[in-house]
Amino acid sequence: MVQMAIFSQFTIQSGKADLILLVVIALGLQPEISKLDNVIFSLFAGVLIGFISAEPFWIVVIVYMFALFFSLFLRERLPQIPILTMFFCSIVFMTLHILIQAVYYQFLGLRIDFQTSFQNLILPSLMINIIATLPIFLVVSEVRRIVFPSLEEL
């Protein structure tokens, strides 16, 4: 709801933030949350966004699930640097999401000029996501501490 009502209106040129993707990645990097919970949340978020948006829901679901599994993979391999991992995942999967959409809409017959897309959509969207990455990670980490406190935190 916050994504649709507020953050979809914050644009740099035509770029928009994808808060749900950032939340999915941030949740995937939290050590105390089980993988099943993460999968359920990502699937639910993907289907919900895909249902509301005019974008095909399978694109959203696939990108969110890939982002989740990659962040889970990195959580186990690189547990010491979650913030850096968060930045890396958000850049990679935001780019992937936009590129998949661009290719899909090209196939649908929409005129999507690559240079225009890069200047007006891809770069601005990446910039907004990078700006939002750290606050989202901190908020999700704080919520995780409240809901699933670890033994050291207790």
Partner 1 sequence: MKISLSNSWKTITIILVAIGLILLALGGYLGPVFASVSRPVVLAQAWLSNRYIAIYQILNSPQQESELRARNIELENEVSQLQSQIITLQQQLSKTQNLEALLGFAGSNPQLQPVAATVIGRDPSPFLHYLIVDQGSDDGIRKGMPVVTQSGLVGKVDAVIAGASRIQLVTDPGSIINVNLQTQDMDAQVIGSITGEITLEMVPQDIVLQSGEMILTSGLGGTFPGDLLIGQVISIRKLENDLYQTATVQPVVDFSQLQAVLIITNFKPVDITPLLPK
Write out the residues near partner 1 by the rule CB under 8 A.
1, 3-5, 7-9, 11, 13-16, 18, 20, 49, 52-55, 98, 101-102, 105, 108, 110-112, 116-117, 120-121, 124-125
15 or 82: whose CB is closer to partner 1?
A: 15
16 or 144: whose CB is closer to partner 1?
A: 16
Task: Give dist(CA 21, CA 32) in Å, integer.
Answer: 19
Whether 104 and 74 have beta carbons less than 8 Å apart is answered as no
Beta bridge partners of 16: 11
CB of 100 to partner 1, least distance (A): 11
Q: Which helix (H) or strand (E) covers residue 12, if one does?
A: strand 11-12
CB of 16 to partner 1, least distance (A): 5
CA distances (Å), 98 to each of 16, 28, 33, 145, in order? 11, 21, 28, 32
18 or 75: whose CB is closer to partner 1?
A: 18
CB of 142 to partner 1, least distance (A): 24
CB of 78 to partner 1, least distance (A): 29
18 or 82: whose CB is closer to partner 1?
A: 18
Helix segments in the chain, DSSP class H: 2, 19-28, 35-52, 57-77, 82-108, 114-117, 123-147
